[in-house]
Structure 1
């Protein structure tokens, strides 16, 4: 039988496939190599942090235990800090006049002991504002790891699926490379060689070859990732970086509590719980996934994580996991001020369908949800109209700000409890520290698990004791920020979207049609009764939550009238406001009074006056009443609290209204900021270019007029 291929072609084909298999092995191995790089880089970051601390410890501390060493001689020789001693060897220390070799060994041992103690408490903090050589190497390795892990998985799959049959084909085709054997080979063996050639040729040019080439390209691009690329990716996807670091080098983020405070037996059960994230559009931190597993395993729980730890995303992830196991109907009950926020977050973070059951169309929305399923988001007040069919079963009920139903006699508590009777699972959430209000804790736990409520009823004086924490662990779970977010920069920003009531909406539309830009920007704050303002309601909730965590609050607004209304609303809990008419000396006196005030104190200031030149580190919550027209104004205001000397994470909340000018301003500023970051030097002139000009403002008003008219026309057609 004639051979259907050229011998040289066959040899090249064999070599090409061997090279592809070697490449797949190399790419699969690269993940392990990058892990080693991460471990080395993390160690260098920690070492640098330790040395930075030791540089602030003078060499005189060597004699703290009365060692009697000649530290003046050491200092004169250039050993000014403990870091200098740690970095030196014994022989260089003993070369100092008056320091014997024996003394050098003792000095070195004392310095190393100090370094070991500092290292025990050292933790890694990655921050785009502090790009050291060591942290850049670590971030670069972590960036590479994200791609290396995916390509390694793909390559291992290709190897498992194809290696054996490729190697068998190569073995059959090798016959063609041996001239004499080929001449005397049987027809069957020659046919096998022909088939092998065709198989390998089709593999090279088919799906297998294409996938290998794709992984080769990704691999080469991954190796070329530099510090600039890595920091950019880190700023956009820091969660995946921290998760990888936490998994590869446990403890370097400062949190080596792998069970997050749960009793060991319960923790083991929670750890084994299955979580199905398909359809979740964000990555969870490890502690967040642990919270989801806790909720799934325990079924009826009260999640009390502190502000900023992501209780909302944990609730959404719990619903996603249940949806993937056949659940269909979920409900969220929350204050009216956060209904819009919940709807937005669910859509942004998952593929779950959302139905807002609130306002005029609540009956139709309820019927639609009952029929089609998804997540119903409603208010405590609307639960009075939550009429469910007799046989209806709810997969999960989420109650946000659960302390709203602490009073068993209140109408809203009674209404929510009726829905609880239809729920297979319940997830109550509150950022308020219930350990300080044990009666409220018992009231909420009684709804969830009456047996545990009865058990702890007589232990309320022991809320800080281990016995009490263990007793409530099956139903109440609270993590503190400093325990689980030790690695994050100290700035956490949130957009708080509010929904206008009809009265607010009418005032807003009047301002828009009057082309009064300033009045339009005061959306919600120009309500006739400030207590009817949706922004004011959310403001009060944030202040209450901040007070429960012993935080102080600064409130900024561009408008003097808004500041006056905030002060009127808050009464005695608010300091004297700062505005343009207050002298610099008086401003500092107000700041000093604010610094001395107890937790929960509030300072209101016009952003032009209180946003520059003042240091207000005693505050750790900043609330912006409306978006500003230049990002630099907001940044300056935030930096009043987010600066050297701040000891707590700073939480920034922007109060915004849906379907209003707030949306347009935020969109335009984000777009301008992105273009600025991409193309402009960070100069004052460039920063000024981000602000809005008169033309942009005119366009915003015109677009708002058109939007409102279109809404009214659509409403009239119905």
Structure 2
């Protein structure tokens, strides 16, 4: 190799060494950028806070401050690093690995050492020189040096301008927290959204803590009631129960011989059982263990009951503690808002003075707007609590039992809030589809304008109505559908909506006015009767809750011609509009279409035919497809589920007292039989139904009714007597001893019906309210009565169910007795038989809220057809009797 060649090789080697150093620098720089970005991501991940809802993470929130722009810069640099190709990696490997080796091998030819190098090494160096030329030529041809500078151009990109924190949402930054997810988009909330949250959470925590001693005292008192009741049960639990608990593995003879006859006695003896003759230490340990298991199980399954007939000292103490807690707390009616505050509590420590933004990453079923709303709800609630915390507690009555009897529903709501009254969660959901249940769980419910405490199942119904917008709430009578609807209106008011309308039967207008005023801060207006025009004008101007009637809808249509938005329409006793051809149905459905939201309330969505139920569903959800050709109640319930929620009393009101229903089959007197036979010969169906009552005290049914009224007076109970017929009611009112109120009939003005009920509720024990079943059995709350008498079977099973529910409902503290007076060998028997199918139909399609479908057997008899069939059957039966046939 001559001098020129050596100079060439030196020059090539110098180029490769320079490029190698540059490649090493670029690799180090790229690794530093990637490491800094990874550290920044780890910093954000560590700082993130999970916000739970319904036991699952609904949002992951990352608090940010201005200094986090450094992290954004690192992520931005990483995102703007030129992408490496396989050729780029091969180039860098060549320059940093292969080229240095080749240069080392060629060095023996370049210095003085070449004079002392053997032939083998010279040959190797010559080969290395050739490789060096090839490497250099290939790199130069591929523009390797220029590509290196492109790969190292990150600094220039960084200096071109650093983006703000909002850039974290840019998919180009490849933030790991946002990768590989679906569902609602993440958002950045600036400080104006959450700046008041820490102070609000602190204020709520302070108020809750100030009430906590009263709450804790009430909880401890409730535990004492449970323990006392458990002890009473164990004192009555026979020794044989230990056999069941141990599958007959214990010999209990020695215990019985020693006079130990109950599980309580076993617990009382404790370890001393081993001292009894015939009982060893091992047996004693097993007996005591079995007894303690029974004690624990009994405690776990023991609800806290308030029995007015057994006023135990510990129950009186519990009522006093509940009254004290209720009087001092300003959080009444704020349960849902406090739940939102508890959800947001993890953010309290995360939000600092320098926090400028929150990066919110929602789960698949949540939305950032829901979190934003929760923050607003909690902030407003904190402001309200601050204004009312100094208002002082209301006075507590000297006898807590008096206060309990005056407002039992409030006490049961407090027990529910303390966890002493629980409902089956699936029953609360009413068998709704899982995706709807999840959406309802995630729906906030503001209590800012609500003054009543909601039970858990009531809160669920209100949130269901908010999520689904237009729905049927078909909860069984007595569960509080009214307060569920009011909770929806109160929530919407907190969102800025102002105008709400309730359409109901005239008989319950007064009750709605009272409930809205008593359970919310909304202002009600009676848009019915002589003052309706002025009330409507004031409502249109100022907003609030207008309460009107089906009969007033024609006038109301003209009154609502203005541009005022109707935020929510509530239709009470919605089965009144089951016939789409009726004028009131058309007018109501026009309002449903016009309103932004609608809630149809009815405990009896299906009375005669399945088509009625389908009609109601079509009003609120015309998009639902309900197939009416198959015999498939399960399919029907599944299809109608998005619009229909129903819970039954036994599912959610565990504290409800017993309902005792008695069918009293009575023979007809001679006078009754003669009158009845004449009505059959005339073919007068309605006269046949009441014939067994029209001879007054001579009638067997009337005699039994007088006995029931006297027994009720002796037992300090009040009575409601229901009949379809005005003539029967008049005779009942004349025949009964003691104070009688009524008859309450359809001819009694609506505002006077509630006044009549109030006077009856304030009367002495033994008082009787006589009511037409279609007037007094709808809408009115008559918990003062605990004995119900139905004088004749009704043509719809739902009519009787509604009447019973007037008394057997939330707030009732006495067991309710229902006496159905039925005449043997009469039309009563035929009606009972024919209407059993109607009840089965309701149970199949409407009692469970799931989804909907019609069926051929769902076409039931009309009342006229039923009457013709009953009369024909009775004529045939009486004719057979007169000829001696069986």
Worse-matched range after superposition: 381-390 or 413-422: 381-390
Give 1:552-563 correspondences, 5 Å limit.
none
Which among 268, 284, 308 is matched to residue 478 of structure 2? 308
Structure 2 residue 595 is matched with structure 1 residue 423: yes
Q: Which residue is equivalent to 1:334?
A: 504
Which among 280, 285, 306 is matched to residue 126 of structure 1? 306
Q: Which residue is equivalent to 1:95?
A: 275
Structure 2 residue 612 is matched with structure 1 residue 440: yes
Worse-matched range after superposition: 384-393 or 292-301: 384-393
Structure 2 residue 248 is matched with structure 1 residue 78: no
Whose radius of gyration is greater, 1 or 2?
2
Contact 2:696 2:702 in 1 (8 A): no
Partner Cα separation in structure 2 for residue 394 and residue 409 of structure 1: 24
Deviations 1:424-466 (A, max 9, x none): 11111101154995432221111111222x1x43597444x4x
1:412 is displaced (CA, Å) by 2.0
Partner Cα separation in structure 1 for residue 311 and residue 595 of structure 2: 49
Give 1:432-581 correspondences, 5 Å limit.
432=604, 434=606, 438-452=610-624, 454=625, 456-457=626-627, 461-463=631-633, 465=634, 469=637, 471-488=639-656, 576-577=692-693, 581=697
Give the 3 Å change call, closer, same or farther, for CA 337–146 of structure 1 in structure 2. closer
Contact 1:300 1:427 in 2 (8 A): yes
Deviations 1:405-435 (A, max 9, x none): 1222222222222222221111111011549
Q: Which residue is equivalent to 1:273?
A: 443
Contact 1:347 1:354 in 2 (8 A): yes
Partner Cα separation in structure 2 for residue 94 and residue 578 of structure 1: 72
Partner Cα separation in structure 2 for residue 95 and residue 266 of structure 1: 61
1:474 is displaced (CA, Å) by 2.7
1:306 is displaced (CA, Å) by 1.4
Q: Which residue is equivalent to 1:60?
A: 240
Give the 3 Å change call, closer, same or farther, for CA 256–635 of structure 1 in structure 2. same
Secondary structure of the residue aligned to 1:338 is helix
Q: Which residue is equivalent to 2:228?
A: 48
1:653 is displaced (CA, Å) by 6.0
Q: Which residue is equivalent to 2:546?
A: 376
Give the 3 Å change call, closer, same or farther, for CA 349–35 of structure 1 in structure 2. closer
Structure 2 residue 460 is matched with structure 1 residue 290: yes
Partner Cα separation in structure 1 for residue 264 and residue 230 of structure 2: 8
Secondary structure of the residue aligned to 2:260 is coil
TM-score normalised over the length of structure 1: 0.54
Partner Cα separation in structure 1 for residue 735 and residue 291 of structure 2: 49
1:255 is displaced (CA, Å) by 2.0
Contact 2:693 2:702 in 1 (8 A): no
Contact 1:332 1:378 in 2 (8 A): yes
Give 1:232-247 correspondences, 5 Å limit.
232-247=402-417
Deviations 1:181-217 (A, max 9, x none): xxxxxxxxxxxxxxxxxxxxxxxxxxxxxx9xx98x9
1:98 is displaced (CA, Å) by 2.2
Partner Cα separation in structure 1 for residue 210 and residue 536 of structure 2: 53
Secondary structure of the residue aligned to 2:242 is helix
Contact 2:575 2:605 in 1 (8 A): no
Contact 1:306 1:479 in 2 (8 A): yes
1:397 is displaced (CA, Å) by 1.2
Q: Which residue is equivalent to 1:320?
A: 490
Partner Cα separation in structure 2 for residue 68 and residue 379 of structure 1: 68
Secondary structure of the residue aligned to 1:59 is coil
1:486 is displaced (CA, Å) by 1.8
1:144 is displaced (CA, Å) by 4.0
Which among 417, 421, 427 is matched to residue 253 of structure 1? 421
Which among 543, 548, 572 is matched to residue 400 of structure 1? 572
Deviations 1:459-508 (A, max 9, x none): 97444x4x7655434321112222222225569xxxxxxxxxxxxxxxxx
What stretches of structure 1 of length at least 5 have no aligned partner? 1-24, 154-210, 492-548, 554-563, 593-599, 613-622, 643-647, 655-718
Which among 341, 345, 369 is matched to residue 515 of structure 2? 345
Aligned residues: 469
TM-score normalised over the length of structure 2: 0.45
Secondary structure of the residue aligned to 2:221 is helix
Which among 384, 390, 409 is matched to residue 581 of structure 2? 409
Q: Which residue is equivalent to 1:104?
A: 284
More contact order relative to length (CA 8 Å, sep ≥ 6) = 2
What stretches of structure 2 of length at least 5 have no aligned partner? 1-204, 335-385, 665-674, 709-721, 739-754, 770-783, 790-801, 809-886
Q: Which residue is equivalent to 1:633?
A: 766
Deviations 1:502-539 (A, max 9, x none): xxxxxxxxxxxxxxxxxxxxxxxxxxxxxxxxxxxxxx
1:350 is displaced (CA, Å) by 3.9
Secondary structure of the residue aligned to 1:67 is coil
Secondary structure of the residue aligned to 2:697 is coil
Deviations 1:622-652 (A, max 9, x none): x98895695133289945569xxxxx99755
Partner Cα separation in structure 2 for residue 111 and residue 611 of structure 1: 53
Partner Cα separation in structure 2 for residue 265 and residue 81 of structure 1: 50
Partner Cα separation in structure 1 for residue 456 and residue 623 of structure 2: 30
Pairwise CA RMSD: 5.0
Secondary structure of the residue aligned to 1:457 is coil
Give the 3 Å change call, closer, same or farther, for CA 66–45 of structure 1 in structure 2. same
1:125 is displaced (CA, Å) by 1.3
Partner Cα separation in structure 1 for residue 766 and residue 492 of structure 2: 44
